[in-house]
Amino acid sequence: MFEAVSSDGTVIACERHGAAGPTLVLVGGTLMTRVRHAPLASLLARDFGVVTYDRRGRGDSGDHPVYDVQREVDDLDAVIERVGGPVLLFGMSSGAVLALEAVARGSAVSALALYEPPFVVDGSRPPLPADYLDRVQEFLAHGDSAAALTHFLTVGLALPDEDIAGMRHTPVWAAWEATAPTLPYDGQVMAGTMSGRPLPTDRWRSVDVPVLVAHGSAGETYMANGARELASHGDNYTLHALPGQDHNVDPHALAPVLTAFFTGT
């Protein structure tokens, strides 16, 4: 365990796995803490010095009353500076979009891998309503983390009600409720990319490092379509479909793909 201090003074809790090899930083998606990435990190630690961290407001990291996406980019920059960049970077789900945004804004990254950024670029699922973020913030302002979480799952992820009813009786529900106050953060990270319209062609134009865009062949159609569209944005993007995988990707299926990409094998 170690800490990095962001530009606004927020303390970011980090954990190192392995020692030898290039440094690879893992960025979690919505509701994720660094614990969620531990199985993947242990597999990647055979070839890399892997660093996982709690994004602000989660796990052992601190927070700040005012949120901006740039603050999360600053958090990542603080982690990179602490471990010594440039680094390899992997982002999962909305964390993939944060990682992409960080590279576009100049973070010291030499190669970037993404898994299923949850873009909605067509009509393959309902777009995110314009009032999605307002509703989540309203629930949280009234102290109703469960309602905010439910709104994210039903509207943000478009999961059926019966699936969510079953989740309420699992141990993970309490952990999700604990990180529910950070749902607006990911809402801002994803702003404008879940509208059902094509991705902006200039938003990440400055990303010139090698980028792997992976998705599961058995996952949601809208995520595969979003991955394909992002991968079409430049010759430095490579699309890869993981056979039989969905958004809840098996680390044993993902780790070899990441290792091959980052080592060039």
pLDDT tens series, the chain, 265 aa: 999 999 999 999 999 999 788 999 999 999 999 999 999 999 999 999 999 999 999 999 999 999 999 999 999 999 999 999 899 999 999 999 999 999 999 999 999 999 999 999 999 999 999 999 999 999 999 999 999 999 999 999 988 888 888 888 888 999 999 999 999 999 999 999 999 999 998 999 999 999 999 999 999 999 999 999 999 999 999 999 999 999 999 999 999 999 999 999 8
Task: Write the DSSP string, 97-142.
Answer: HHHHHHHHTT--EEEEEEE------STTSPPPPTTHHHHHHHHHHT
Summarised one tens digit per residue, pLDDT across range 214-231 is: 999 999 999 999 999 999
pLDDT at res. 164: 87
pLDDT at res. 85: 86
pLDDT at res. 201: 85
Q: Outline where the chain has alpha helix (H).
A: 38-44, 69-83, 94-104, 132-141, 145-151, 161-167, 172-179, 183-189, 221-231, 251-263
Summarised one tens digit per residue, pLDDT across range 173-199 is: 999 999 999 999 999 999 999 999 999
Place of tokens 């009509």: 123
Place of tokens 């980090």: 14
pLDDT at res. 20: 80
pLDDT at res. 151: 96
pLDDT at res. 171: 87
Q: Phi-psi bin for 116: left (phi > 0), alpha (psi -120 to 50), beta? A: left
Return the sign of the alpha-carbon dihedral for residues 251, 222, 31, 54: positive
Peptide bond into 126 cis (omega under 30): no
The structure tokens listed for 204 are 């990440």
Return the sign of the alpha-carbon dihedral for residues 239, 241, 246, 249: negative
Query: Taking CA 259 as the corner, what is the angle to CA 110 and CA 83, rounded to the nearest 5 degrees?
Result: 45
pLDDT at res. 255: 98
The structure tokens listed for 135 are 């509703």
What whole-number distance in Å separates Cα of residue 145 and Cα of residue 31? 12
